[in-house]
Chain A
Protein backbone atom coordinates (compact mmCIF):
# COMPACT_ATOMS: atom_id res chain seq x y z
CA UNK A 1 0.00 0.00 0.00
CA UNK A 2 1.65 3.26 -1.11
CA UNK A 3 1.87 5.88 1.62
CA UNK A 4 0.17 8.40 -0.67
CA UNK A 5 -2.90 6.17 -0.48
CA UNK A 6 -3.44 7.14 3.16
CA UNK A 7 -3.66 10.76 4.25
CA UNK A 8 -4.74 12.22 7.57
CA UNK A 9 -5.99 15.79 7.87
CA UNK A 10 -5.29 17.03 11.37
CA UNK A 11 -3.26 19.10 13.80
CA UNK A 12 -0.48 18.18 16.25
CA UNK A 13 -2.27 19.61 19.28
CA UNK A 14 -5.61 17.91 18.78
CA UNK A 15 -6.29 14.89 21.02
CA UNK A 16 -8.91 13.66 18.54
CA UNK A 17 -6.33 13.65 15.74
CA UNK A 18 -3.98 11.66 17.99
CA UNK A 19 -6.41 8.76 17.99
CA UNK A 20 -6.14 7.71 14.33
CA UNK A 21 -2.40 8.47 14.40
CA UNK A 22 -1.88 5.96 17.20
CA UNK A 23 -4.07 3.44 15.36
CA UNK A 24 -2.10 3.85 12.13
CA UNK A 25 1.14 3.42 14.11
CA UNK A 26 -0.20 0.22 15.69
CA UNK A 27 -0.94 -1.15 12.24
CA UNK A 28 2.37 0.14 10.79
CA UNK A 29 0.52 2.00 8.07
CA UNK A 30 2.49 4.88 6.57
CA UNK A 31 0.48 8.03 5.92
CA UNK A 32 0.82 11.61 4.84
CA UNK A 33 -0.04 14.02 7.65
CA UNK A 34 -1.74 17.13 6.32
CA UNK A 35 -1.64 19.74 9.05
CA UNK A 36 -4.37 22.33 9.25
CA UNK A 37 -3.41 25.85 10.25
CA UNK A 38 -5.04 26.85 13.51
CA UNK A 39 -7.86 29.30 12.92
CA UNK A 40 -8.58 28.41 9.31
CA UNK A 41 -9.96 25.40 7.44
CA UNK A 42 -8.51 24.14 4.17
CA UNK A 43 -10.55 23.52 1.02
CA UNK A 44 -9.71 19.84 1.31
CA UNK A 45 -11.09 19.66 4.85
CA UNK A 46 -14.32 21.44 3.93
CA UNK A 47 -14.76 19.16 0.91
CA UNK A 48 -13.90 15.98 2.85
CA UNK A 49 -16.06 16.70 5.88
CA UNK A 50 -18.94 18.91 4.70
CA UNK A 51 -21.16 17.77 7.59
CA UNK A 52 -18.95 18.85 10.50
CA UNK A 53 -15.94 20.59 8.88
CA UNK A 54 -13.76 19.12 11.66
CA UNK A 55 -10.50 17.24 12.01
CA UNK A 56 -9.44 14.46 11.97
CA UNK A 57 -10.39 13.18 8.52
CA UNK A 58 -8.78 10.06 7.13
CA UNK A 59 -8.48 9.90 3.35
CA UNK A 60 -8.01 6.36 2.10
CA UNK A 61 -7.58 6.29 -1.68
CA UNK A 62 -9.28 9.70 -1.54
CA UNK A 63 -12.38 8.40 0.27
CA UNK A 64 -12.96 10.38 3.49
CA UNK A 65 -13.70 8.80 6.87
CA UNK A 66 -14.70 11.22 9.65
CA UNK A 67 -15.06 11.15 13.46
CA UNK A 68 -11.98 10.03 15.37
CA UNK A 69 -13.37 6.88 17.03
CA UNK A 70 -15.06 5.80 13.80
CA UNK A 71 -11.74 6.27 11.98
CA UNK A 72 -10.00 4.08 14.57
CA UNK A 73 -12.57 1.31 13.99
CA UNK A 74 -12.15 1.72 10.22
CA UNK A 75 -8.38 1.34 10.57
CA UNK A 76 -8.87 -1.80 12.65
CA UNK A 77 -11.33 -3.25 10.09
CA UNK A 78 -9.25 -2.37 7.04
CA UNK A 79 -5.81 -3.45 8.25
CA UNK A 80 -7.14 -6.35 10.29
CA UNK A 81 -4.29 -8.70 9.42
CA UNK A 82 -1.60 -6.22 10.43
CA UNK A 83 -0.55 -5.59 14.02
CA UNK A 84 -2.64 -6.27 17.14
CA UNK A 85 -6.44 -5.97 17.23
CA UNK A 86 -7.50 -2.54 18.34
CA UNK A 87 -11.09 -3.46 19.24
CA UNK A 88 -11.69 -6.44 21.56
CA UNK A 89 -12.97 -9.50 19.73
CA UNK A 90 -15.64 -10.45 22.27
CA UNK A 91 -18.93 -8.64 21.44
CA UNK A 92 -19.60 -7.73 25.08
CA UNK A 93 -16.10 -6.35 25.66
CA UNK A 94 -16.40 -4.43 22.41
CA UNK A 95 -19.74 -2.91 23.48
CA UNK A 96 -18.18 -1.92 26.82
CA UNK A 97 -15.15 -0.33 25.15
CA UNK A 98 -17.39 1.70 22.83
CA UNK A 99 -19.68 2.67 25.70
CA UNK A 100 -16.83 4.08 27.78
CA UNK A 101 -15.31 5.84 24.76
CA UNK A 102 -18.64 7.60 24.17
CA UNK A 103 -18.87 8.49 27.88
CA UNK A 104 -15.37 9.95 27.78
CA UNK A 105 -16.24 12.25 24.87
CA UNK A 106 -19.72 13.23 26.03
CA UNK A 107 -19.12 13.71 29.75
CA UNK A 108 -15.53 13.39 30.92
CA UNK A 109 -13.78 15.47 28.26
CA UNK A 110 -16.52 18.09 28.32
CA UNK A 111 -15.87 18.50 32.07
CA UNK A 112 -12.10 18.66 31.52
CA UNK A 113 -12.43 21.31 28.85
CA UNK A 114 -14.78 23.41 30.97
CA UNK A 115 -12.22 23.41 33.77
CA UNK A 116 -9.95 25.67 31.76
CA UNK A 117 -12.84 28.04 31.13
CA UNK A 118 -14.32 27.86 34.65
CA UNK A 119 -14.79 31.24 36.24
CA UNK A 120 -15.40 31.48 39.96
CA UNK A 121 -14.78 29.06 42.81
CA UNK A 122 -18.32 27.66 42.66
CA UNK A 123 -17.95 26.78 38.98
CA UNK A 124 -14.53 25.21 39.59
CA UNK A 125 -15.90 23.13 42.47
CA UNK A 126 -18.73 21.83 40.27
CA UNK A 127 -16.32 20.82 37.51
CA UNK A 128 -13.98 19.12 39.98
CA UNK A 129 -16.92 17.13 41.36
CA UNK A 130 -17.89 16.04 37.83
CA UNK A 131 -14.35 15.00 36.98
CA UNK A 132 -13.95 13.07 40.23
CA UNK A 133 -17.16 11.18 39.56
CA UNK A 134 -15.96 10.47 36.03
CA UNK A 135 -12.56 9.32 37.22
CA UNK A 136 -14.18 6.96 39.72
CA UNK A 137 -16.29 5.43 36.93
CA UNK A 138 -13.21 5.10 34.73
CA UNK A 139 -11.10 3.56 37.51
CA UNK A 140 -13.76 0.86 37.92
CA UNK A 141 -14.09 0.46 34.15
CA UNK A 142 -10.34 -0.02 33.93
CA UNK A 143 -10.38 -2.76 36.56
CA UNK A 144 -13.31 -4.48 34.78
CA UNK A 145 -11.89 -4.20 31.26
CA UNK A 146 -8.19 -4.82 31.90
CA UNK A 147 -8.75 -7.99 33.97
CA UNK A 148 -5.38 -7.54 35.66
CA UNK A 149 -3.46 -6.56 32.52
CA UNK A 150 -1.74 -3.18 32.00
CA UNK A 151 -4.25 -1.71 29.50
CA UNK A 152 -8.02 -1.45 29.03
CA UNK A 153 -7.47 -3.69 26.02
CA UNK A 154 -5.30 -6.18 27.92
CA UNK A 155 -1.65 -6.70 27.03
CA UNK A 156 -1.64 -4.14 24.24
CA UNK A 157 -3.18 -0.71 23.92
CA UNK A 158 -6.51 -0.66 22.15
CA UNK A 159 -9.59 1.38 21.34
CA UNK A 160 -10.48 2.50 24.84
CA UNK A 161 -6.86 3.16 25.84
CA UNK A 162 -6.58 5.40 22.79
CA UNK A 163 -9.95 7.07 23.43
CA UNK A 164 -8.90 8.18 26.93
CA UNK A 165 -5.13 8.35 26.59
CA UNK A 166 -5.24 10.96 23.83
CA UNK A 167 -6.34 13.51 26.46
CA UNK A 168 -3.41 12.97 28.84
CA UNK A 169 -1.27 15.85 27.55
CA UNK A 170 -4.22 18.26 27.81
CA UNK A 171 -4.95 16.83 31.24
CA UNK A 172 -1.42 17.75 32.39
CA UNK A 173 -1.69 21.23 30.88
CA UNK A 174 -5.02 21.76 32.68
CA UNK A 175 -3.58 20.52 36.00
CA UNK A 176 -0.76 23.05 35.71
CA UNK A 177 -3.08 25.89 34.73
CA UNK A 178 -5.58 25.35 37.57
CA UNK A 179 -3.05 24.07 40.14
CA UNK A 180 -5.15 21.01 40.91
CA UNK A 181 -4.29 17.34 40.50
CA UNK A 182 -7.07 15.91 38.36
CA UNK A 183 -5.65 12.39 38.02
CA UNK A 184 -4.68 11.57 41.59
CA UNK A 185 -2.67 8.38 42.34
CA UNK A 186 -4.29 8.23 45.77
CA UNK A 187 -7.84 8.27 44.38
CA UNK A 188 -7.35 6.38 41.11
CA UNK A 189 -4.21 4.26 41.49
CA UNK A 190 -4.94 1.91 38.57
CA UNK A 191 -5.77 4.71 36.17
CA UNK A 192 -2.64 6.63 37.18
CA UNK A 193 -0.41 3.60 36.53
CA UNK A 194 -2.20 3.02 33.23
CA UNK A 195 -1.56 6.64 32.19
CA UNK A 196 2.16 6.18 32.70
CA UNK A 197 2.20 2.94 30.71
CA UNK A 198 0.14 4.47 27.93
CA UNK A 199 2.45 7.44 27.47
CA UNK A 200 5.43 5.10 27.18
CA UNK A 201 3.89 2.96 24.46
CA UNK A 202 5.94 3.12 21.21
CA UNK A 203 2.83 3.82 19.11
CA UNK A 204 1.95 6.76 21.35
CA UNK A 205 5.28 8.46 22.12
CA UNK A 206 5.90 9.94 18.63
CA UNK A 207 2.49 11.64 18.55
CA UNK A 208 1.98 12.74 22.16
CA UNK A 209 2.61 16.51 22.35
CA UNK A 210 5.16 17.75 24.89
CA UNK A 211 3.47 19.36 27.88
CA UNK A 212 5.51 22.58 27.64
CA UNK A 213 4.79 23.07 23.95
CA UNK A 214 1.10 22.33 24.49
CA UNK A 215 0.89 24.69 27.48
CA UNK A 216 2.33 27.49 25.34
CA UNK A 217 -0.18 26.71 22.58
CA UNK A 218 -3.04 26.67 25.11
CA UNK A 219 -2.03 30.09 26.42
CA UNK A 220 -2.14 31.42 22.88
CA UNK A 221 -5.53 30.06 21.96
CA UNK A 222 -7.24 30.79 25.28
CA UNK A 223 -5.92 34.33 25.62
Chain B
Protein backbone atom coordinates (compact mmCIF):
# COMPACT_ATOMS: atom_id res chain seq x y z
CA UNK B 1 0.00 0.00 0.00
CA UNK B 2 1.50 3.36 -1.01
CA UNK B 3 2.07 6.00 1.62
CA UNK B 4 0.48 9.45 1.22
CA UNK B 5 1.57 10.66 -2.20
CA UNK B 6 1.52 14.27 -3.28
CA UNK B 7 0.17 14.47 -6.81
CA UNK B 8 -0.53 17.73 -8.60
CA UNK B 9 -1.53 18.33 -12.18
CA UNK B 10 -0.98 21.61 -13.98
CA UNK B 11 -3.33 21.76 -16.91
CA UNK B 12 -5.67 23.69 -19.14
CA UNK B 13 -9.35 22.78 -19.05
CA UNK B 14 -9.82 22.67 -22.85
CA UNK B 15 -6.58 20.86 -23.66
CA UNK B 16 -6.91 17.30 -24.98
CA UNK B 17 -3.45 16.59 -23.55
CA UNK B 18 -4.58 17.54 -20.05
CA UNK B 19 -7.83 15.60 -20.52
CA UNK B 20 -6.05 12.31 -21.23
CA UNK B 21 -3.90 12.63 -18.09
CA UNK B 22 -7.00 13.23 -15.97
CA UNK B 23 -8.56 10.08 -17.45
CA UNK B 24 -5.51 8.06 -16.44
CA UNK B 25 -5.43 9.43 -12.89
CA UNK B 26 -9.16 8.76 -12.51
CA UNK B 27 -8.82 5.23 -13.86
CA UNK B 28 -6.11 4.49 -11.32
CA UNK B 29 -8.04 6.17 -8.52
CA UNK B 30 -5.17 8.55 -7.76
CA UNK B 31 -6.21 11.64 -5.79
CA UNK B 32 -4.59 14.82 -7.09
CA UNK B 33 -4.64 18.58 -6.84
CA UNK B 34 -5.54 20.30 -10.09
CA UNK B 35 -3.97 23.65 -10.93
CA UNK B 36 -5.55 25.49 -13.86
CA UNK B 37 -3.07 27.40 -16.02
CA UNK B 38 -3.90 30.56 -17.89
CA UNK B 39 -2.01 29.87 -21.12
CA UNK B 40 -1.98 33.57 -22.02
CA UNK B 41 -0.29 34.30 -18.70
CA UNK B 42 1.78 31.30 -17.65
CA UNK B 43 2.51 30.87 -13.98
CA UNK B 44 6.06 31.05 -12.56
CA UNK B 45 5.47 27.50 -11.32
CA UNK B 46 4.87 26.20 -14.85
CA UNK B 47 7.90 28.02 -16.22
CA UNK B 48 10.00 26.55 -13.41
CA UNK B 49 8.72 23.00 -13.89
CA UNK B 50 8.85 22.98 -17.69
CA UNK B 51 11.56 25.44 -18.76
CA UNK B 52 12.19 23.63 -22.04
CA UNK B 53 8.68 23.73 -23.52
CA UNK B 54 6.67 25.84 -21.03
CA UNK B 55 3.61 23.67 -21.76
CA UNK B 56 0.87 21.83 -19.93
CA UNK B 57 0.13 19.23 -18.75
CA UNK B 58 2.75 18.78 -16.06
CA UNK B 59 2.32 16.09 -13.46
CA UNK B 60 4.14 16.73 -10.19
CA UNK B 61 4.65 13.63 -8.07
CA UNK B 62 6.23 14.18 -4.68
CA UNK B 63 7.82 17.36 -6.02
CA UNK B 64 9.23 15.85 -9.24
CA UNK B 65 7.81 17.08 -12.56
CA UNK B 66 6.88 14.69 -15.35
CA UNK B 67 6.32 16.25 -18.77
CA UNK B 68 4.63 15.39 -22.08
CA UNK B 69 1.13 13.92 -21.86
CA UNK B 70 1.88 10.48 -23.34
CA UNK B 71 4.99 10.12 -21.17
CA UNK B 72 2.87 11.08 -18.16
CA UNK B 73 0.42 8.30 -19.06
CA UNK B 74 3.29 5.79 -19.15
CA UNK B 75 4.63 7.11 -15.84
CA UNK B 76 1.21 6.82 -14.20
CA UNK B 77 0.89 3.27 -15.52
CA UNK B 78 4.23 2.21 -14.07
CA UNK B 79 3.81 3.96 -10.75
CA UNK B 80 0.23 2.88 -9.95
CA UNK B 81 -0.08 -0.67 -11.22
CA UNK B 82 -3.82 -1.28 -10.77
CA UNK B 83 -6.05 -1.07 -13.88
CA UNK B 84 -3.25 -1.24 -16.47
CA UNK B 85 -3.37 1.35 -19.22
CA UNK B 86 -0.76 0.04 -21.65
CA UNK B 87 -0.99 -3.44 -23.20
CA UNK B 88 1.24 -6.09 -21.62
CA UNK B 89 2.45 -7.69 -24.84
CA UNK B 90 5.59 -5.93 -26.21
CA UNK B 91 4.25 -5.86 -29.78
CA UNK B 92 0.86 -4.44 -28.77
CA UNK B 93 2.66 -1.91 -26.59
CA UNK B 94 4.84 -0.82 -29.51
CA UNK B 95 1.76 -0.52 -31.72
CA UNK B 96 -0.05 1.60 -29.12
CA UNK B 97 2.94 3.93 -28.77
CA UNK B 98 3.28 4.19 -32.54
CA UNK B 99 -0.38 5.09 -33.04
CA UNK B 100 -0.35 7.59 -30.16
CA UNK B 101 2.57 9.40 -31.80
CA UNK B 102 0.75 9.20 -35.12
CA UNK B 103 -2.40 10.77 -33.67
CA UNK B 104 -0.57 13.69 -32.06
CA UNK B 105 1.98 14.35 -34.80
CA UNK B 106 0.07 13.53 -38.00
CA UNK B 107 -3.69 13.28 -37.47
CA UNK B 108 -4.11 16.32 -35.24
CA UNK B 109 -2.15 18.72 -37.52
CA UNK B 110 -3.94 17.35 -40.61
CA UNK B 111 -7.29 17.87 -38.88
CA UNK B 112 -6.21 21.34 -37.92
CA UNK B 113 -5.28 22.19 -41.50
CA UNK B 114 -8.84 21.45 -42.58
CA UNK B 115 -9.98 24.14 -40.13
CA UNK B 116 -7.76 26.87 -41.48
CA UNK B 117 -7.68 26.20 -45.20
CA UNK B 118 -9.71 28.59 -47.32
CA UNK B 119 -12.70 27.17 -49.23
CA UNK B 120 -10.54 26.08 -52.17
CA UNK B 121 -8.21 23.95 -50.12
CA UNK B 122 -10.64 22.57 -47.56
CA UNK B 123 -11.88 19.52 -49.49
CA UNK B 124 -8.33 18.34 -50.11
CA UNK B 125 -7.41 18.94 -46.48
CA UNK B 126 -10.45 16.95 -45.31
CA UNK B 127 -9.59 14.03 -47.58
CA UNK B 128 -5.98 14.02 -46.37
CA UNK B 129 -7.11 13.99 -42.75
CA UNK B 130 -9.62 11.19 -43.45
CA UNK B 131 -6.92 9.06 -45.09
CA UNK B 132 -4.91 9.23 -41.88
CA UNK B 133 -7.91 8.64 -39.62
CA UNK B 134 -8.60 5.47 -41.63
CA UNK B 135 -5.56 3.89 -39.94
CA UNK B 136 -7.34 4.38 -36.62
CA UNK B 137 -10.58 2.95 -38.05
CA UNK B 138 -8.68 -0.21 -39.00
CA UNK B 139 -7.10 -0.49 -35.57
CA UNK B 140 -10.38 -0.35 -33.63
CA UNK B 141 -12.40 -2.55 -36.02
CA UNK B 142 -13.72 -5.66 -34.26
CA UNK B 143 -12.91 -4.29 -30.81
CA UNK B 144 -14.98 -2.54 -28.14
CA UNK B 145 -12.09 -0.21 -27.39
CA UNK B 146 -8.53 0.25 -28.70
CA UNK B 147 -7.51 -1.34 -25.41
CA UNK B 148 -9.81 -4.34 -25.91
CA UNK B 149 -12.66 -4.87 -23.46
CA UNK B 150 -11.84 -1.80 -21.40
CA UNK B 151 -10.34 1.59 -22.17
CA UNK B 152 -6.58 1.92 -22.30
CA UNK B 153 -3.75 4.18 -23.43
CA UNK B 154 -4.85 4.58 -27.01
CA UNK B 155 -8.49 5.19 -26.08
CA UNK B 156 -7.33 8.05 -23.85
CA UNK B 157 -5.02 9.51 -26.52
CA UNK B 158 -7.42 9.18 -29.46
CA UNK B 159 -10.47 9.89 -27.32
CA UNK B 160 -9.16 13.16 -25.91
CA UNK B 161 -8.03 14.32 -29.35
CA UNK B 162 -10.73 13.28 -31.78
CA UNK B 163 -14.28 12.88 -30.49
CA UNK B 164 -13.95 15.38 -27.66
CA UNK B 165 -11.84 17.98 -29.40
CA UNK B 166 -11.41 17.56 -33.14
CA UNK B 167 -15.03 16.67 -33.85
CA UNK B 168 -16.26 19.70 -31.87
CA UNK B 169 -13.94 22.02 -33.82
CA UNK B 170 -14.92 20.46 -37.14
CA UNK B 171 -18.63 20.72 -36.30
CA UNK B 172 -18.12 24.45 -35.72
CA UNK B 173 -16.95 24.65 -39.32
CA UNK B 174 -19.80 22.49 -40.61
CA UNK B 175 -17.36 19.66 -41.36
CA UNK B 176 -18.47 16.06 -40.82
CA UNK B 177 -14.98 14.60 -40.69
CA UNK B 178 -15.80 11.03 -39.66
CA UNK B 179 -19.24 10.15 -41.08
CA UNK B 180 -20.67 6.83 -39.93
CA UNK B 181 -20.82 5.29 -43.41
CA UNK B 182 -17.07 5.82 -43.87
CA UNK B 183 -15.99 5.17 -40.26
CA UNK B 184 -18.43 2.67 -38.72
CA UNK B 185 -15.96 1.25 -36.18
CA UNK B 186 -14.84 4.64 -34.88
CA UNK B 187 -18.43 5.83 -34.54
CA UNK B 188 -19.33 2.68 -32.61
CA UNK B 189 -16.29 3.26 -30.39
CA UNK B 190 -17.30 6.88 -29.73
CA UNK B 191 -20.76 5.73 -28.60
CA UNK B 192 -19.13 3.26 -26.22
CA UNK B 193 -16.73 5.93 -24.92
CA UNK B 194 -19.65 8.17 -24.08
CA UNK B 195 -20.91 5.47 -21.72
CA UNK B 196 -17.64 5.31 -19.76
CA UNK B 197 -17.90 7.33 -16.54
CA UNK B 198 -14.23 8.31 -16.44
CA UNK B 199 -14.43 9.72 -19.94
CA UNK B 200 -17.58 11.72 -19.21
CA UNK B 201 -16.00 13.14 -16.05
CA UNK B 202 -12.78 14.24 -17.70
CA UNK B 203 -13.72 15.70 -21.07
CA UNK B 204 -14.21 19.47 -21.28
CA UNK B 205 -17.89 20.46 -20.88
CA UNK B 206 -19.41 20.61 -24.35
CA UNK B 207 -21.00 24.06 -24.42
CA UNK B 208 -18.06 25.98 -22.99
CA UNK B 209 -15.66 23.95 -25.10
CA UNK B 210 -17.47 24.69 -28.36
CA UNK B 211 -17.50 28.42 -27.48
CA UNK B 212 -13.80 28.30 -26.65
CA UNK B 213 -12.95 26.54 -29.92
CA UNK B 214 -14.98 29.11 -31.85
CA UNK B 215 -13.08 31.98 -30.20
CA UNK B 216 -9.80 30.18 -30.80
CA UNK B 217 -10.67 29.53 -34.43
CA UNK B 218 -10.90 33.25 -35.21
CA UNK B 219 -7.58 33.93 -33.53
CA UNK B 220 -5.86 30.93 -35.12
CA UNK B 221 -7.23 31.63 -38.61
CA UNK B 222 -6.03 35.23 -38.56
CA UNK B 223 -2.62 34.11 -37.27
CA UNK B 224 -2.45 31.52 -40.04
CA UNK B 225 -3.46 34.05 -42.69
CA UNK B 226 -0.70 36.41 -41.53
CA UNK B 227 1.85 33.68 -42.09
CA UNK B 228 0.97 33.18 -45.75
Contacts and interface: CB of A to CB of B under 8 A. Distances in A.
Query: Is this pair of chains taken from one and the same complex?
Result: yes
Contacts of A98: 68, 71, 74
Interface string B92-109: 011101100110001000
B68 A99 contact: yes
Contacts, number: 56
B75 A92 contact: yes
Contacts of B90: 74, 77-78
**Interface of chain B, helix or strand or loop or mixed?**
helix
Interface residues on A, range: 20 to 34
B137 to A, nearest CB: 13
Nearest to A78: B90
A98 B75 CA distance: 11
B52 interface: yes
A55 interface: no
Given A92-B66, A94-B78, A95-B71, A51 B94 contact: no
A57 to B, nearest CB: 11
Interface in B74-96: 74-75, 78-79, 90-91, 93-95
21 contacts: A51-B102, A51-B106, A51-B135, A65-B91, A65-B98, A67-B97, A70-B94, A70-B97, A71-B94, A74-B90, A74-B93, A77-B93, A94-B74, A94-B78, A95-B71, A95-B72, A95-B75, A98-B74, A99-B67, A99-B71, A102-B68
Interface of B: 52, 61, 64, 66-68, 71-72, 74-75, 78-79, 90-91, 93-95, 97-98, 101-102, 106, 135
CB-CB nearest 7 A-B residue pairs:
A77-B90, A91-B78, A74-B94, A95-B75, A78-B90, A95-B66, A65-B94
